[in-house]
Protein backbone atom coordinates (compact mmCIF):
# COMPACT_ATOMS: atom_id res chain seq x y z
CA UNK A 1 0.00 0.00 0.00
CA UNK A 2 1.26 3.45 -0.90
CA UNK A 3 0.63 6.51 1.16
CA UNK A 4 -0.81 9.04 -1.24
CA UNK A 5 -1.70 11.66 1.30
CA UNK A 6 -0.10 15.04 0.67
CA UNK A 7 2.70 15.70 3.15
CA UNK A 8 2.37 19.48 3.23
CA UNK A 9 -1.00 21.00 4.00
CA UNK A 10 -1.95 24.52 2.93
CA UNK A 11 -0.98 27.31 5.32
CA UNK A 12 -4.48 28.75 5.62
CA UNK A 13 -5.71 25.43 6.87
CA UNK A 14 -3.00 25.19 9.50
CA UNK A 15 -3.60 28.72 10.82
CA UNK A 16 -7.25 28.10 11.67
CA UNK A 17 -6.60 24.97 13.62
CA UNK A 18 -7.37 25.08 17.35
CA UNK A 19 -4.29 24.77 19.50
CA UNK A 20 -5.94 22.76 22.23
CA UNK A 21 -8.94 20.52 22.49
CA UNK A 22 -11.46 22.27 24.71
CA UNK A 23 -14.30 19.83 25.23
CA UNK A 24 -16.71 22.51 26.45
CA UNK A 25 -16.58 24.30 23.08
CA UNK A 26 -17.62 21.21 21.14
CA UNK A 27 -21.33 20.65 20.57
CA UNK A 28 -21.84 16.92 20.45
CA UNK A 29 -23.99 15.75 17.50
CA UNK A 30 -26.69 13.29 18.55
CA UNK A 31 -24.92 10.37 16.84
CA UNK A 32 -21.74 11.13 18.78
CA UNK A 33 -23.76 11.40 21.99
CA UNK A 34 -25.33 7.96 21.48
CA UNK A 35 -21.90 6.58 20.57
CA UNK A 36 -20.05 7.90 23.63
CA UNK A 37 -22.93 6.83 25.89
CA UNK A 38 -22.67 3.34 24.38
CA UNK A 39 -19.02 3.27 25.44
CA UNK A 40 -19.66 4.80 28.88
CA UNK A 41 -22.54 2.42 29.68
CA UNK A 42 -20.38 -0.49 28.51
CA UNK A 43 -17.71 0.52 31.03
CA UNK A 44 -20.33 0.83 33.80
CA UNK A 45 -21.75 -2.61 33.01
CA UNK A 46 -18.24 -4.08 33.10
CA UNK A 47 -17.58 -2.48 36.50
CA UNK A 48 -20.71 -3.91 38.14
CA UNK A 49 -19.97 -7.54 37.10
CA UNK A 50 -18.52 -8.53 40.52
CA UNK A 51 -21.57 -7.05 42.28
CA UNK A 52 -23.87 -9.13 40.08
CA UNK A 53 -21.95 -12.31 40.85
CA UNK A 54 -21.86 -11.52 44.57
CA UNK A 55 -25.61 -10.86 44.75
CA UNK A 56 -26.32 -14.06 42.79
CA UNK A 57 -24.02 -16.05 45.07
CA UNK A 58 -25.64 -14.66 48.23
CA UNK A 59 -29.23 -14.94 47.03
CA UNK A 60 -28.79 -18.60 46.04
CA UNK A 61 -26.81 -19.71 49.11
CA UNK A 62 -29.59 -19.75 51.76
CA UNK A 63 -33.03 -18.41 52.63
CA UNK A 64 -31.60 -15.92 55.15
CA UNK A 65 -29.10 -14.59 52.62
CA UNK A 66 -31.87 -14.38 50.05
CA UNK A 67 -33.90 -12.17 52.41
CA UNK A 68 -30.80 -10.07 53.01
CA UNK A 69 -30.29 -9.50 49.28
CA UNK A 70 -33.98 -8.63 48.87
CA UNK A 71 -33.79 -6.06 51.67
CA UNK A 72 -30.62 -4.57 50.15
CA UNK A 73 -32.36 -4.26 46.77
CA UNK A 74 -35.40 -2.63 48.40
CA UNK A 75 -33.51 0.19 50.12
CA UNK A 76 -34.19 3.61 48.52
CA UNK A 77 -30.52 4.23 47.68
CA UNK A 78 -30.11 0.85 45.96
CA UNK A 79 -33.32 1.42 44.02
CA UNK A 80 -31.91 4.65 42.64
CA UNK A 81 -28.70 2.86 41.68
CA UNK A 82 -30.69 0.03 40.08
CA UNK A 83 -32.57 2.58 38.00
CA UNK A 84 -29.29 4.07 36.79
CA UNK A 85 -27.93 0.63 35.97
CA UNK A 86 -31.16 -0.29 34.20
CA UNK A 87 -30.73 2.78 32.01
CA UNK A 88 -27.09 1.82 31.36
CA UNK A 89 -28.18 -1.68 30.33
CA UNK A 90 -31.03 -0.55 28.08
CA UNK A 91 -29.02 2.19 26.40
CA UNK A 92 -26.19 -0.25 25.72
CA UNK A 93 -28.75 -2.80 24.48
CA UNK A 94 -30.55 -0.49 22.04
CA UNK A 95 -27.41 1.31 20.86
CA UNK A 96 -25.86 -2.12 20.26
CA UNK A 97 -28.83 -3.22 18.17
CA UNK A 98 -28.46 0.05 16.22
CA UNK A 99 -24.83 -0.91 15.54
CA UNK A 100 -25.84 -4.40 14.38
CA UNK A 101 -28.42 -2.84 12.05
CA UNK A 102 -25.76 -0.55 10.57
CA UNK A 103 -23.44 -3.53 10.12
CA UNK A 104 -25.98 -5.01 7.71
CA UNK A 105 -26.19 -1.61 5.96
CA UNK A 106 -29.53 -0.61 7.40
CA UNK A 107 -30.15 3.06 8.31
CA UNK A 108 -26.65 4.20 7.38
CA UNK A 109 -27.22 7.62 5.79
CA UNK A 110 -26.69 10.67 8.03
CA UNK A 111 -30.37 11.60 8.33
CA UNK A 112 -31.42 8.01 9.03
CA UNK A 113 -28.61 7.59 11.55
CA UNK A 114 -29.79 10.73 13.35
CA UNK A 115 -33.29 9.35 13.40
CA UNK A 116 -32.19 5.97 14.85
CA UNK A 117 -30.06 7.84 17.42
CA UNK A 118 -33.21 9.57 18.66
CA UNK A 119 -35.09 6.25 18.64
CA UNK A 120 -32.26 4.69 20.69
CA UNK A 121 -32.38 7.46 23.31
CA UNK A 122 -36.19 7.35 23.51
CA UNK A 123 -36.34 3.55 23.81
CA UNK A 124 -33.68 3.63 26.54
CA UNK A 125 -35.63 6.28 28.45
CA UNK A 126 -38.93 4.40 27.98
CA UNK A 127 -37.51 1.10 29.23
CA UNK A 128 -35.97 2.92 32.22
CA UNK A 129 -39.34 4.54 32.93
CA UNK A 130 -41.04 1.12 33.01
CA UNK A 131 -38.35 -0.12 35.41
CA UNK A 132 -38.97 2.96 37.59
CA UNK A 133 -42.68 2.13 37.70
CA UNK A 134 -41.84 -1.47 38.69
CA UNK A 135 -39.43 -0.25 41.40
CA UNK A 136 -41.64 2.32 43.13
CA UNK A 137 -45.25 1.32 42.39
CA UNK B 1 -12.71 -14.06 0.16
CA UNK B 2 -14.94 -13.60 3.18
CA UNK B 3 -13.44 -16.73 4.79
CA UNK B 4 -9.97 -15.36 4.06
CA UNK B 5 -10.83 -12.26 6.10
CA UNK B 6 -11.52 -14.44 9.13
CA UNK B 7 -8.14 -16.19 9.19
CA UNK B 8 -5.31 -15.29 11.54
CA UNK B 9 -3.92 -12.86 8.99
CA UNK B 10 -6.71 -10.40 9.84
CA UNK B 11 -7.16 -10.53 13.65
CA UNK B 12 -9.14 -7.28 13.60
CA UNK B 13 -11.86 -8.87 11.49
CA UNK B 14 -12.11 -11.77 13.90
CA UNK B 15 -12.42 -9.40 16.86
CA UNK B 16 -15.06 -7.40 15.00
CA UNK B 17 -17.08 -10.53 14.20
CA UNK B 18 -16.75 -11.98 17.72
CA UNK B 19 -17.96 -8.69 19.23
CA UNK B 20 -21.08 -8.86 17.04
CA UNK B 21 -21.79 -12.57 17.53
CA UNK B 22 -21.47 -12.32 21.32
CA UNK B 23 -23.65 -9.19 21.29
CA UNK B 24 -26.34 -11.03 19.35
CA UNK B 25 -26.25 -14.06 21.67
CA UNK B 26 -26.37 -11.86 24.78
CA UNK B 27 -29.31 -9.86 23.39
CA UNK B 28 -31.22 -13.11 22.80
CA UNK B 29 -30.41 -14.35 26.32
CA UNK B 30 -31.42 -11.01 27.88
CA UNK B 31 -34.83 -11.12 26.22
CA UNK B 32 -35.28 -14.76 27.30
CA UNK B 33 -34.30 -13.87 30.89
CA UNK B 34 -36.69 -10.93 31.00
CA UNK B 35 -39.60 -13.01 29.67
CA UNK B 36 -38.77 -15.83 32.12
CA UNK B 37 -38.73 -13.40 35.07
CA UNK B 38 -42.04 -11.82 33.97
CA UNK B 39 -43.70 -15.25 33.59
CA UNK B 40 -42.36 -16.97 36.72
CA UNK B 41 -41.99 -13.89 39.00
CA UNK B 42 -39.79 -15.56 41.64
CA UNK B 43 -40.51 -13.83 44.97
CA UNK B 44 -39.38 -16.26 47.70
CA UNK B 45 -36.22 -18.30 48.14
CA UNK B 46 -37.70 -21.63 46.97
CA UNK B 47 -39.04 -20.04 43.79
CA UNK B 48 -35.67 -18.37 43.21
CA UNK B 49 -33.90 -21.74 43.60
CA UNK B 50 -36.22 -23.48 41.16
CA UNK B 51 -35.75 -20.53 38.80
CA UNK B 52 -32.08 -21.54 38.67
CA UNK B 53 -32.72 -25.30 38.68
CA UNK B 54 -33.29 -26.29 34.99
CA UNK B 55 -30.10 -27.52 33.35
CA UNK B 56 -30.88 -25.74 30.05
CA UNK B 57 -31.13 -22.43 31.93
CA UNK B 58 -27.84 -23.06 33.74
CA UNK B 59 -26.04 -23.86 30.50
CA UNK B 60 -27.61 -20.87 28.74
CA UNK B 61 -26.54 -18.61 31.61
CA UNK B 62 -23.03 -20.03 31.52
CA UNK B 63 -22.79 -19.51 27.75
CA UNK B 64 -24.09 -15.98 28.30
CA UNK B 65 -21.26 -15.37 30.75
CA UNK B 66 -18.66 -16.68 28.28
CA UNK B 67 -20.05 -14.30 25.60
CA UNK B 68 -20.04 -11.50 28.16
CA UNK B 69 -16.38 -12.13 28.96
CA UNK B 70 -15.33 -12.10 25.30
CA UNK B 71 -17.45 -8.99 24.66
CA UNK B 72 -16.06 -7.19 27.73
CA UNK B 73 -12.50 -8.13 26.77
CA UNK B 74 -12.86 -6.64 23.28
CA UNK B 75 -14.76 -3.58 24.51
CA UNK B 76 -12.52 -2.64 27.42
CA UNK B 77 -9.44 -3.41 25.30
CA UNK B 78 -10.67 -0.84 22.76
CA UNK B 79 -11.19 1.67 25.57
CA UNK B 80 -7.61 1.09 26.80
CA UNK B 81 -6.29 1.39 23.24
CA UNK B 82 -8.00 4.77 22.92
CA UNK B 83 -7.22 6.33 26.28
CA UNK B 84 -3.99 4.68 27.50
CA UNK B 85 -1.28 5.72 25.04
CA UNK B 86 1.61 4.31 27.11
CA UNK B 87 2.26 0.79 25.83
CA UNK B 88 3.75 -0.63 29.05
CA UNK B 89 0.91 0.63 31.24
CA UNK B 90 -1.59 -0.69 28.73
CA UNK B 91 -0.05 -4.17 28.78
CA UNK B 92 -0.30 -4.23 32.58
CA UNK B 93 -3.94 -3.09 32.44
CA UNK B 94 -4.78 -5.70 29.81
CA UNK B 95 -3.23 -8.45 31.93
CA UNK B 96 -5.23 -7.22 34.91
CA UNK B 97 -8.38 -7.23 32.78
CA UNK B 98 -7.74 -10.78 31.56
CA UNK B 99 -7.11 -12.00 35.11
CA UNK B 100 -10.33 -10.38 36.32
CA UNK B 101 -12.41 -11.83 33.48
CA UNK B 102 -10.98 -15.33 34.02
CA UNK B 103 -11.73 -15.07 37.74
CA UNK B 104 -15.31 -14.01 36.95
CA UNK B 105 -15.62 -16.98 34.56
CA UNK B 106 -14.45 -19.34 37.30
CA UNK B 107 -16.95 -17.81 39.74
CA UNK B 108 -19.81 -17.90 37.20
CA UNK B 109 -18.97 -21.50 36.25
CA UNK B 110 -19.23 -22.48 39.89
CA UNK B 111 -22.54 -20.62 40.28
CA UNK B 112 -24.19 -21.90 37.10
CA UNK B 113 -22.73 -25.37 36.58
CA UNK B 114 -21.34 -26.76 39.85
CA UNK B 115 -23.38 -25.34 42.73
> Can you list the alpha helix ranges (DSSP code H) found in B1-115?
2-5, 11-40, 45-51, 55-83, 87-109
CA B101 to chain centre: 9
Distance from CA of A87 to the nearest CA of B (A): 14
CA B47 to chain centre: 26
A100 touches chain B (CB under 8 A): yes
Q: Would you say residue B80 has pLDDT above 60?
A: yes
Residues in B lying within 8 Å of A, measured between beta carbons: 20, 23-24, 27, 30, 44-45, 48-49, 52, 68, 72, 75-76, 79, 104, 107-108, 111, 115
Q: What is the mean pLDDT of residues B72-91?
A: 96
Rounded Cα gap, residues A74 and A80, in angstroms:
10
3-state secondary structure of B33: helix
pLDDT for position A65: 97
> Strand, helix or coil at A112?
helix
Closest Cα of chain B to A60: distance in Å?
A: 6
Work out the widest C-alpha separation in chain B, in whole angstroms.
55
- Cβ of B23 and A100 within 8 Å? yes
pLDDT given for residue B4 in this prediction: 77
Q: How many domains does chain A have?
A: 1
Confidence of residue A15 (pLDDT cuts 50, 70, 90): low
d(CA B24, CA B22): 5
- B80 or A7, which is more confident: B80
How do residues A37-53 score in pLDDT, each as one tens digit?
Answer: 999 999 999 999 999 99
pLDDT of amino acid B15: 93
Looking at residues B43-63, what average pLDDT do you find? Answer: 97
Give residue A28's pLDDT.
Answer: 87
CATH number at residue A86: 1.20.1300.10
Which residues on B lie below 8 Å from A56 (Cβ)?
111
User: Is B48's CB within 8 Å of A66's CB?
Assistant: yes
Residue closest to B109 by CA, chosen among B72, B73, B69: B69
A128 domain residue, yes or no = yes
Question: pLDDT > 70: what percent of chain B?
Answer: 99
**pLDDT tens digits, one per residue of B5-43:** 778 888 889 999 999 999 999 999 999 999 999 999 999
Distance from CA of B47 to the nearest CA of A (A): 11
Q: Please answer yes or no on whether B48 and A67 come within 8 Å at the CB atom.
A: no
Average pLDDT over residues A39-68: 97
- Residue B5's pLDDT is 77
ipTM: 0.93
Q: Which residues of B touch A98 (CB under 8 A)?
A: none
Query: Cβ(B106)–Cβ(B115) under 8 Å?
Result: no
A1-14 pLDDT, tens digit each = 455 555 555 555 56
What is the pLDDT, as a whole number, of residue A13?
A: 58
Check pLDDT > 70 for residue B56.
Answer: yes
Identify the structural domains of chain B with CATH numbers, from first to last: 2-114 (1.20.1300.10)
pLDDT of residue A1: 45
| A115 and chain B in contact, CB less than 8 A | no
A6 part of a folded domain: no
Domain that holds residue A46: 11-136
A1 belongs to a structural domain: no
Looking at the complex, report in whole angstroms how far the Cα of residue B102 sits from the nearest Cα belonging to chain A: 12
| Residue B87 burial by Cβ neighbours in a 10 Å radius (0-12, 13-18, 19+) | exposed
pLDDT tens for each residue of A91-134: 999 999 999 999 999 999 999 999 999 999 999 999 999 999 99
3-state secondary structure of B44: coil
Which chain B residues are Cβ-neighbours of A60 within 8 angstroms? 48-49, 52, 111, 115
Amino acid sequence: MQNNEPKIKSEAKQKNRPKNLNLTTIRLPINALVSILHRATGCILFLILPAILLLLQLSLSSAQHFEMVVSILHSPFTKLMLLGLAWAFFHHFFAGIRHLAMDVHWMTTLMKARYTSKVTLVLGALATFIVALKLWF
Amino acid sequence: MVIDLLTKRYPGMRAWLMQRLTAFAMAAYSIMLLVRIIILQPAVYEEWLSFFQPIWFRIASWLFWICLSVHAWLGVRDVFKDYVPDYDIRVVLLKLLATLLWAYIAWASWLFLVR
